[in-house]
Copies of this chain bind each other. A is one copy, B any other.
Amino acid sequence: MLKPYVLGIDIGGTNTVFGIVDARGQVIASDSIKTKKHSKFDDYLEDLCHGIQHLLEKNEAEGKIQGIGIGAPNANYYTGEILNPPNLPWGEPVIPLAEKVSKALGLPVAVTNDANAAALGEMTYGAARGMKDFIMITLGTGVGSGIVVNGQLVYGHDGFAGELGHLIMKRNNGRMCGCGRTGCLEAYCSATGVARTAREFLEVRTEPSTLRDLQIEDITSKDVYDAAVAGDKLAQEIFTYTGTILGEAFADMVTFTSPQAIILFGGLAKSGELLMKPLQEAFDKSLMPVFKGKTKILLSELKESDAAVLGASALGWEAKYRSDNAGMENTASE
């Protein structure tokens, strides 16, 4: 019989948030630790498990946890590992995350990357409830994605499917991307991408802008947003540029899986009409005729403070990996 709760853990570059979640998607209680406090993973793990034990005790939830779901950058569902995480501090190329957490807490564990966790959360508790085909796009420091087809997350043969932030949008003279190539969607349409567009526009254009009052190296997407809301034309054009590239990319995504919706999550997704109007216009204009008017662009329905934990926790219901087993029992990995 299922136990009443799952535990969701979201490992972010700054904070690791964990929470107890019930079957209706209520976060019963949550807490967090600093991800970067420890330079060794094992010290971090000890700190994390201590925090979790404390949370379970305080909420009388010991023995009531069905499983643990973890969302983390570069985490692989099939292997349970984190691979070369660029924003995590522990310096180990491969961390057997599922194994170590399962051993430490004595519970089954499943891991996936943060964008896949967001997609699961949206499907289980949010804007994608009832949908069997949708794409989740997270607009944060980078651009992440989780693809759902026939009601299942798409992991691909190696567990790394769904890197839509790295679709090539500019084949010539594209911007350098963190992945080592040039022209990726992420280099334009992440929060970092918006700041890069601002620097580029300020360098090559002559219009006045309040952004010129700032140190050009320090401009953030938040600065661009504030200026745009205050009526700054150049800042507004930066959002138009960003939204247009996103809309064109989304039209390409539709030719793949013809999703019922593309769902946006993350800081940049909260830019309102500044981003959504040019995005929707470019999307409508760029779609292949057979797809026109069919795919909705929606915003996440999960509270931002809960979303990461909820998404990760959704994986906890089906977690199968236990450190005391000889190997992975994960049915999807066969």
**Which residues of A approach B to under 8 Å, CB–CB?**
83, 131-133, 147, 149-150, 152, 154-164, 166-171, 179-181, 248, 251-253, 255-260, 286, 288-291, 294, 332
Please tell me which one of the listed residues B132, B162, B256, B289 contacts residue A164 in the complex, with CB atoms under 8 A apart. B256
Using A150-B150, A168-B252, A252-B168 as known contacts, say yes or no to A258 and B158 having CB atoms under 8 A apart: yes
Cβ distance A57 to chain B, nearest Cβ, rounded Å:
39
With a cutoff of 8 Å between Cβ atoms, the chain B residues found around residue A171 in the complex are: 169-171, 248
Main SS of chain A's interface residues?
Answer: loop
Given contacts A150-B152, A156-B257, A164-B256, 13 further A-B contacts (CB under 8 A): A147-B257, A154-B257, A157-B258, A158-B294, A159-B258, A160-B291, A161-B256, A163-B290, A168-B251, A168-B252, A179-B290, A180-B288, A256-B257
Cβ distance A153 to chain B, nearest Cβ, rounded Å:
9
Cβ distance A249 to chain B, nearest Cβ, rounded Å:
9
Looking at A163, A166, A255, A290, the one whose CB has the most chain B CB atoms below 10 A away is A255
Q: Would A256 and B132 count as touching, CB distance under 8 A?
A: no
Using A181-B286, A248-B168 as known contacts, say yes or no to A154 and B149 having CB atoms under 8 A apart: yes
Using A133-B156, A180-B289, A288-B166 as known contacts, say yes or no to A258 and B150 having CB atoms under 8 A apart: no
With a cutoff of 8 Å between Cβ atoms, the chain B residues found around residue A162 in the complex are: 255-256, 258
Complex Cα–Cα for A159 and B291 (A)? 10
With a cutoff of 8 Å between Cβ atoms, the chain B residues found around residue A256 in the complex are: 147, 154, 161-162, 164, 253, 256-257
Please tell me which one of the listed residues B132, B149, B157, B252 contacts residue A259 in the complex, with CB atoms under 8 A apart. B157
With a cutoff of 8 Å between Cβ atoms, the chain B residues found around residue A290 in the complex are: 83, 160, 163, 179
Complex Cα–Cα for A277 and B255 (A)? 27
Q: Would B288 and A258 count as touching, CB distance under 8 A?
A: no
Please tell me which one of the listed residues B132, B155, B157, B158 contacts residue A157 in the complex, with CB atoms under 8 A apart. B132
Q: Would B181 and A288 count as touching, CB distance under 8 A?
A: yes
